[in-house]
């Protein structure tokens, strides 16, 4: 048996298929995020952790947190879950 057959896929990676993710990205533009803030928030919507985003973008976790803090302020939220709810609500309405 191949080891890849035994690997579990992370359910968070399938939360936002490409088509849905594109819709969310379009709605993110309404908040006037910088390109980097938009990129970090988009990766957050894909279910990545701060650590995973930092590794993928070759930045520190603190830099990821700073980008998210600025995005939270622009979007008018205080937490990750609020950001997801706001973006989901905007994109689905």
Domain count for the chain, please give it: 1
- State the Cα–Cα distance between residues 85 and 88, nearest whole angstrom: 5
Decide if 72 is inside a domain.
Answer: yes
Place of tokens 């302020």: 73
Judge whether 78 and 72 are in contact, CB under 8 Å.
Answer: yes
The domain of 44 spans: 15-92
Q: Which of 66, 40, 37, 36 is nearest to 52 (CA)?
A: 40
Considering only 57-61, 80-84, 86-90, which range has the smallest mean pLDDT?
A: 86-90
Instruction: Answer yes or no: is pLDDT of 8 > 60.
Output: no
pTM: 0.71
Decide if 5 is inside a domain.
Answer: no
Tell me the CATH number at 70. Answer: 1.10.10.10
Q: What band does 9 get if pLDDT is binned at 50, 70 and 90?
A: very low
Helix (H, G, I), strand (E, B) or coil at 87: helix
Output the pLDDT for position 64.
98
Judge whether 70 and 37 are in contact, CB under 8 Å.
Answer: yes
Judge whether 76 and 31 are in contact, CB under 8 Å.
Answer: no
Mean pLDDT value across residues 49-76: 97
């Amino acid at each position: 048996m191949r080891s890849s057959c035994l690997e579990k896929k992370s359910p968070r990676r399938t939360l936002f298929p490409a088509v849905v993710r594109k819709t969310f990205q379009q709605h993110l533009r309404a908040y006037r995020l910088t390109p980097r803030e938009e990129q970090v928030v988009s990766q957050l919507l894909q279910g990545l952790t701060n650590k995973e985003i930092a590794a993928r973008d070759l930045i520190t976790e603190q830099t990821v947190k700073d980008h998210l803090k600025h995005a939270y302020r622009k979007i008018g939220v205080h937490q990750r879950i609020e950001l997801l709810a706001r973006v989901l609500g905007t994109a689905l309405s």
